[in-house]
Amino acid sequence: MRILAVIPARGGSKGLPGKNLRLLAGKPLLVHSVDVARACPWIDEVVVTSDSDEIGKVAREFGAVVVHRPRDLAQDATPMEPVVQHALLSREKEVEPFDAVLLLQPTSPLRSRKDLEESIRLFSKSPCDTLLSVYPFHGYRYHLKEGIVQPMFQTRGNRQDREEEYVENGAIYLTRAELVRSGRLFGERLSAYVMPTSRSVDIDTADDLLLAQALLTSTTHT
């Protein structure tokens, strides 16, 4: 199975300006995703799709192929589907077709090589169209609207008696290439790879970056 890893890293970011090039444990944020993808032997090519020349330069320095993203695919409201589709179709003009596409968002720098390998192993053995990474959740959810709190559950109970829930963490999306070519990331048949909360940090703010830094310096990720 030929797998293309796609790392989307546009230049603009309102929540955390310059986010994709912010240093984390001594290297730019997006490089953590490039490095872990290149270390996985089952990934055939690692692509960074970006509208930024600076990001492209960094990506090339660390061994990624760069696909220039047109301006209309680099807006705040641009959905991810056409971005990944553009990256896949651009590369398939140059190289042999791929069987699957692995979307690795640079805002999830704590995923490990083992996470990638286990996800690919599950995906290859499953009839699923899309595999996504999740983490377990044991809390109680509420809606908060105009100062009024409304529970999203029927009854309370002991934690051990509650049915376990899982939350999408944004670290791994593995999809059949034919779906991506048609402009989709999610098929009808879904599977999941469960990651621990400690590797599920999604960086949107400066506080998230500090948390990821603390976790990286206290834990060995392979």
Candidate list 111, 156, 176, 181, residue with the active-site label: 156
Chain centre distance of CA 10 = 14
Name the 3-class secondary structure at 3.
strand
Contact 58, 21 (CB under 8 A): yes
List the structure tokens of 99.
């069987």
Q: For residue 159, indicate whether it is catalytic.
A: no
Strands 130-137 and 165-176: antiparallel
Beta bridge partners of residue 3, listed in sequence order: 100
Q: Let me know if 16 is exposed, middle or buried by CB neighbors in 10 A (0-12, 13-18, 19+).
A: middle
- Could you give the residue ranges of the DSSP H alpha helices within 27-165? 29-39, 53-61, 80-92, 113-125
Q: Let me know if 3 is exposed, middle or buried by CB neighbors in 10 A (0-12, 13-18, 19+).
A: buried
Q: Let me know if 188 is exposed, middle or buried by CB neighbors in 10 A (0-12, 13-18, 19+).
A: exposed
Any residues with CB less than 8 A from the CB of 210 and at least 6 apart, and which?
Answer: none
User: Distance between CA atoms of 165 and 141, rounded to whole angstroms?
Assistant: 11
Instruction: Point out the residues that are catalytic.
Output: 156
